Amino acid sequence: MAKKSFFVTGTDTGVGKTLVSAAILEAAAVRGLRTLGMKPIASGCDSTPDGLRNEDALALMKSMTEPLSYEQVNPIALEPAVAPHVAAAQAGRQVTAERLAGFCRGLQMRPADLLLVEGAGGWRVPLNDRETYSVVSMLLQMPVILVVPVRLGCINHALLTAEAIRRDGLVVAGWVANRPDERPMESENETLAYLRSHLGARCLGVLPWQSEPDPVALADSLCLDVLFEK
Query: Would you please indicate which residues are annotated as catalytic (active-site) residues?
Result: 39
Q: Is 193 helix (H, G, I), strand (E, B) or coil?
A: helix
CB neighbours of residue 158 within 10 Å: 25
CB environment 54-71: b (16+ within 10 A), e (fewer): bebbbbbbebbbbebebe
Burial class for 211, CB neighbours closer than 10 Å (0-12, 13-18, 19+): exposed
Asked if residue 157 lies in contact with residue 115, where contact means CB atoms within 8 angstroms, the answer is no
Pairing label, strands 172-178, 203-207: parallel
Neighbour tally for 156: CB within 10 Å: 10
Query: Is the alpha carbon torsion for 22, 63, 86, 167 positive or negative?
Result: negative
